[in-house]
Amino acid sequence: MEQRSVDLNGKVHYLDFGGSGRPIVLVHGLGGSSLNWLGVGEQLANLGRVVAPDLAGHGRTMSLARSARVSSNRVLLSRFLDAVAREPAVLIGNSMGGYLSLAQAAAEPASVRALVLVAPAVPPPPRKSLDLKVAMLFAGLMTPFVASLIMRRRARRGPEQTVRDLLKLCTVDIGRIAPEIIAAHVALGRERATYGRVTSRDFIAAARSLMTVLLRRRRYAEMVGLLRAPTLLVNGTRDRLVHIEAARALAAQRPDWQFEALDDVGHVPQLERPEQFLAVVEPWLRSHSAWIA
C-alpha cells in the first residue's frame, strides 16, 4: 500500500493498494477516509488495481477552495476517475460514498463498470423509528447553533475518543476492528486536529448536504432507476445509520440487483467483519468477469 496524491484543483490524497487490471475505486463515507478500507483493500487488489481517495474535507484532502458538500464531492469523484482510474471503474462505496458512487453512475454511466453499494446513504424507511442517537445527532447538525456545539464537544473529547465514539456508532462491536486499524484512524484524527476549524465546517457542510439529498425521495428514486451498471447491495442487519428496511426497500426497487444482508453487522462491514464482507463481494466481482482484465 502506498500513499499518493493527485492535483484536482488542489491536492487529493489517496491510498494505492496495488493490483493490476481494471480499476476498483473505494469511496468512504461521511466523516471517514481512505483508511476505512484498510481491512479489505489489499485483498481486493487480487481482482484489479485498487485505489481509495480521501474526499474533499475528509482524511488528508483539505477542502481549500473546494466545497465538502456531496454535489461537489461527486464532481471530485468524477475528476478522480478521469485522472487516476482512466477507464470505467468498479466503484465500491460505503454510506455517503455509496450515495456518491450511485450518483456518479447515474450522471456519467460510461465511467462506471459495476457498483458495490455498502450500506449506501438512502432515504429513511417510512413508518420506521430511527435510532434515537442517530436522529438526535443529525437533527442537531441541521441546526446552526446546535451544530457548532456538537463540533466543539467533539473537539474537547480529543481525537482518540472521537474516533472511538464514531466507530462505536457504526459497529455492533468495536472490538471486532483490528487494533492497528483503530490506531491508524486515531493517528489521522490527531493530524486533522491541527487543521483548525475548517474540519468542523467541512463535516457540517457534508452532513447537511447529504441529509438534504436524502429528503428528496422522488429524485433519489429517479436516480436509482437510471442505473445500468451491475450492482451488488450490501447492508448489515444491525446498522444504526442505514436501517436494514431502507436497504430492503432500495433492493425492491431494483430486483435486478443482488442484495446481501449481513447478520449481526453494523454500518461499516468492511471494518467490522472484513472476512464476511469479502466472502460476499469477491465472488460477486469474480462472477462479473467481463470487467476483469
Q: Which residues make Cβ contacts (< 8 Å) with residue 175, sequence separation at least 6?
A: none
Domain range summary for the chain, segments of one domain joined by +: 2-291
Could you tell me the fold of the domain covering 2-291?
Rossmann fold (3.40.50)
Residue 226, amino acid: L
Measured CA to CA, the distance from residue 12 to residue 53 in angstroms comes to: 7
Sheet containing strand 231-236, strands side by side: 2-7, 11-18, 49-53, 23-27, 89-94, 112-118, 231-236, 258-262
In whole angstroms, how large is the CA radius of gyration of the chain?
17
Q: pTM, whole model, 2 decimals?
A: 0.94
Residue labelled with grid coordinates 490524497: 13
Measured CA to CA, the distance from residue 75 to residue 73 in angstroms comes to: 5
H helices, E strands: number in the chain? 11, 8
| pLDDT tens, the chain, 293 aa long | 999 999 998 999 999 999 999 999 999 999 999 999 999 999 999 999 999 999 999 999 999 888 999 999 999 999 999 999 999 999 999 999 999 999 999 999 999 999 999 999 999 877 666 677 776 776 767 777 777 777 777 777 788 888 998 999 999 999 999 999 999 999 999 999 898 888 888 988 999 999 999 989 999 999 999 999 999 999 999 999 999 999 999 999 999 999 999 999 999 999 999 999 999 999 999 988 655 44
Q: 260 is written with which cell numbers?
A: 446481501
What are phi and psi for residue 49, nearest 5 degrees? Answer: -85, 120
What pLDDT does residue 142 have? 75
Q: Which residues make Cβ contacts (< 8 Å) with residue 98, sequence separation at least 6?
A: 27, 29, 117, 118, 119, 120, 121
Residue 84 Cα to chain centre, angstroms:
18
What are phi and psi for residue 23, nearest 5 degrees? Answer: -75, 140
What pLDDT does residue 292 have? 47
Going 161 to 163 to 164 to 165, the CA torsion angle's sign is positive
Tens digits of per-residue pLDDT, 229-272? 999 999 999 999 999 999 999 999 999 999 999 999 999 999 99
Of 245, 247, 189, 233, whose CA–CA distance to 31 is shortest?
189
